[in-house]
Amino acid sequence: MSIFKIDDNNELYYEYVEPKDGGYTCVFVNALTGDLSTWNGSIGKNLMKNNDGYLVYNFRGQSQSKFDRNLELNDDVIINDLINLVNFIKPENKVFIGLSIGGLYAAKSLLKGIQAKGLVLINTLRKPSERLNWINNAMANAVRFGGTSLILDMVLPMLASPKFLSTMKNNALKYENYLGLDDYDGITKLMHGGYTTNWDFDWAKLELPVLIMSGHYDKVFRIEEDINDLIKSVKNVRRIEVPECGHLIPVEDPELFSYHLNGFLQSLKT
């Protein structure tokens, strides 16, 4: 168990596997309700087969990471934590990979001076809108009433593939799972921070190679015309459509995700 201590009340839980023979270090950035277990299973093992490594961690407010209950867990806190952790570990040949809003946090950290060889955005691209504000606000409110189980049960059919839903069904839709979270809970604070995050990001400022992955079963955040418009401003971009999955590509099909990720890493090595 590795801990990056910020102060007596705040610390990040992380796991780091160093690359070999000039391999790349994939720095994975979670979604708000995510966990490093998204990455450190088969995805991490597949990286190691190719002499690549990885850095995974949980935000303050996520499992095993400690936070001050009076602290607002907004994007400034999350982005600065990412920067400070990377500067502490000093991994070689970094490639940043962010799921959902995690991709935005990763991109913002790059504009604050962190150097990387590449960036992978997984269902990240979206435009600020009243619709997006409504969704994020509703999720921030719902987590107080029924926790993440309520949010997932309500939106998962519009986020994930039917195949993935079938694997989740036995543990879903159970009223006893809906446990409300108070205002001082880490997930509550992260969801509120996500609601207040500014999505008006200038993607044209990114100079490094970018891979954009989009899952077609995502009917909540994926608006194709917005992605088509935003992607025009990304200078060095590769786009991969994933019709087999929805919003949670690394969770829904980690082997397929690893295949696409490895292809991107190999393109950076040539």
Write out pLDDT tens, residues 66-118: 999 999 999 999 999 999 999 999 999 999 999 999 999 999 999 999 999 99
Q: What is the Cα–Cα distance from 236 to 116, expressed in whole angstroms? A: 14
Residues in Cβ contact with 208 at an 8 Å cutoff, skipping those fewer than 6 apart: 110, 116, 117, 118, 119, 236
CB atoms within 10 A of CB 155: 18
Please count the other Cβ atoms lying within 10 Å of the Cβ belonging to residue 129.
12
State the pLDDT at residue 269.
85
Task: Tell me the pLDDT tens digit for each residue of 208-226.
Answer: 999 999 999 999 999 999 9
3-state SS, residue 215: strand
Q: Edge-to-edge, what's the strand order for the sheet holding 118-122? A: 2-7, 10-17, 53-57, 25-29, 94-99, 118-122, 210-215, 237-242
Q: What is the pLDDT of residue 63?
A: 96
> Residue 167 above 80 pLDDT?
yes
The overall average pLDDT reported for the chain is 96
269 versus 158: the higher-pLDDT residue is 158
Query: What percent of the chain has pLDDT above 70?
Result: 100
Q: What is the pLDDT of residue 163?
A: 96
Residue 56 Cα distances to 75, 170, 210, 260, angstroms: 18, 28, 20, 19
The Cα angle at residue 250 between residues 168 and 137, in degrees rounded to 5: 70
* Counts of helices then strands in the chain (DSSP H, E): 9, 8
- The model's pLDDT over 135-159, given as tens digits with 9 standing for 90+, comes to 999 999 999 999 999 999 999 999 9
For residues 254-266, average pLDDT: 98
**Burial level of 71, CB count in 10 A (0-12/13-18/19+)?**
middle
Q: Length of the chain in residues, anyone?
A: 270
Q: Is 60 exposed, middle or buried (0-12, 13-18, 19+ CB in 10 A)?
A: buried
Task: Tell me the pTM.
Answer: 0.96
Q: Is the pLDDT of residue 265 over 80?
A: yes
> Residue 244: its pLDDT value, please?
97
Task: Give percent of the chain with pLDDT exceeding 90.
Answer: 99
Q: Are 2 and 15 in contact (CB under 8 A)?
A: yes
Burial class of residue 266 (count of CB atoms within 10 Å of its CB; 0-12, 13-18, 19+): exposed
Look at residue 60 and tell me whether its pLDDT is greater than 80.
Answer: yes
Is residue 1's pLDDT more than 90?
A: no
Is the per-residue pLDDT at 270 higher than 90? Answer: no
Rounded Cα distance between 217 and 224, Å, is 12
Q: Which residue has the higher pLDDT, 170 or 1?
A: 170
